[in-house]
Amino acid sequence: MKKHSLYKEGHVTLVGAGPGDPDLLTVKAVKAIEAAQCIIFDNLVSHEIRRLFPSHAQQIYVGKAKNHHNASQEEINHTILSCAEQGLRVCRVKGGDSFVFGRGSEEMLFLGKHGVQVDVIPGITAASGCTTYANIPLTHRGLAQGCTFITAHADKDLGLNWQALATLNQTLVVYMGLSKTQWLTDKLSDSGMCPSTPAALIEKGCTPEQRVITGTLAELTEMKNTHKIQSPALIVIGHVVTVSQQMDWLQQLQESAPDAMMMTA
């Protein structure tokens, strides 16, 4: 089995930092961060994780937020390359997983073409971490035998097979879709998905500020506007959302049980 040559000078490690909770970092990710001489990080890397960055390391922010990009992808690529060519141990830290809508593979290929060694440390992607914290399973016997991840972030039409997405009876998780909730609703409904299909919005998942709003596909935009949901937010569509609703009901039942027992006595 090939051993990864982490922490060498002039070497880049792509680190998936997970969806926000620093306790979800892998041991390997923490070691890479602690050994780094230069850390290049994104907007979705939580402040709690940033506090783990060693004081001796140079820190370069290249975050991208909606309608406000601190650096283009090409600029980010060259920034990473420049630091590696200076002989630094570079840690490129991304929210979630670098290879799930994170453009980590693009950075890896760019660096590889310039002769830079790259290692990749996986992170918990938002679809897994945020739904788990929200008590929403991605798969559940009798409800969903599979799961599909898509991103709604694109300059042009995504070119997706909407009919397949609408009728597969799987869990659908949408990254970066908060500004396109009505578009998503229309696309899926027009392609055959029932408007009453359960849906959830998970805001700032895996952080102390996490909020989970549940309803239906037809209510997505209303849910977003009524509760003033802000990015980062994940959209989950499918019958697995009802598991979370059942857990809420069970928790309320348990909390009210002592009072009910006292009334019986």
pLDDT tens, 208-234? 999 999 999 999 999 999 999 999 999
Active-site entry in 21, 42, 94, 224 = 42
Active site residue 94: no
- pLDDT category of residue 247 using cuts at 50, 70 and 90: confident
Give domain limits for the chain: 11-124, 127-247
Q: Which entry of 28, 31, 64, 119 is annotated as an active-site residue?
A: 64
The class of domain 127-247 in CATH terms is alpha beta
Bridge partner residues of 14 (DSSP): 92, 120
Residue 186 has pLDDT above 90, yes or no: yes
Cα(215)–Cα(171) distance, integer angstroms:
15
User: What topology is assigned to 11-124 in CATH?
Assistant: Cobalt-precorrin-4 Transmethylase; domain 1 (3.40.1010)
Task: Sort residue 74 into left (φ over 0), alpha (ψ -120 to 50) or beta.
Answer: alpha
- 64 as an active site residue: the answer is yes
pTM value > 0.85: yes
For residue 1, pLDDT over 50 is answered with: no
Residue-wise DSSP of 38-98: EEEE-TTS-HHHHTTS-TTSEEEE--EETTEESS-HHHHHHHHHHHHHTT-EEEEEESB-T
